[in-house]
Structure 1
């Protein structure tokens, strides 16, 4: 398994079975503040890379959650819907947003690894 990052502050953890888990980064949840609501995508719906697949709302702002790759939603995190604060307390594990079946794994190639994402954060 490997984790990649988008310039829009989503992470995607790739699994060996052609699926991946998607969430928002620690930086994103820090910038948003206390998350109070999430709008998750519909299971079975197909999205293209960079489509808006969800929304996260906090006490400060609302932000779109973008699809990092083309694919079909296979599962959403119902625990996150019930307790949106998981996006703050555990954004890289329990606070995941959705799982996706990858349509084009080559779209992962231009995404950043942890070192490149850390370098991006230093420019913000």
Structure 2
């Protein structure tokens, strides 16, 4: 999946969709941000900088301060693909984030979403 167009999409254009998804299901932006912080290591200021600078998705993950070692525990199907079987490392990270956002939206406890991290 090298060169997939999602890689060059600004994270700032995807983030509002994540916010809308979790809020539509009764969860909060704060809960979403908490999971993003856990997965990527970005703090609040770092995430805001990414959004303000319109950093693309590939760079967002490449510059993640501390990508969670527990991310490998994120498994299951998202968009018809098994997360753990995706070979491209950037696409796997994109789908890992998609998966945890879905779990937050479905009401899963944040401790479970974070896989003990």
The normalised TM-score by structure 1 is 0.28
The normalised TM-score by structure 2 is 0.29
- The structure richer in helix per residue is 2
- The structure richer in strand per residue is 1
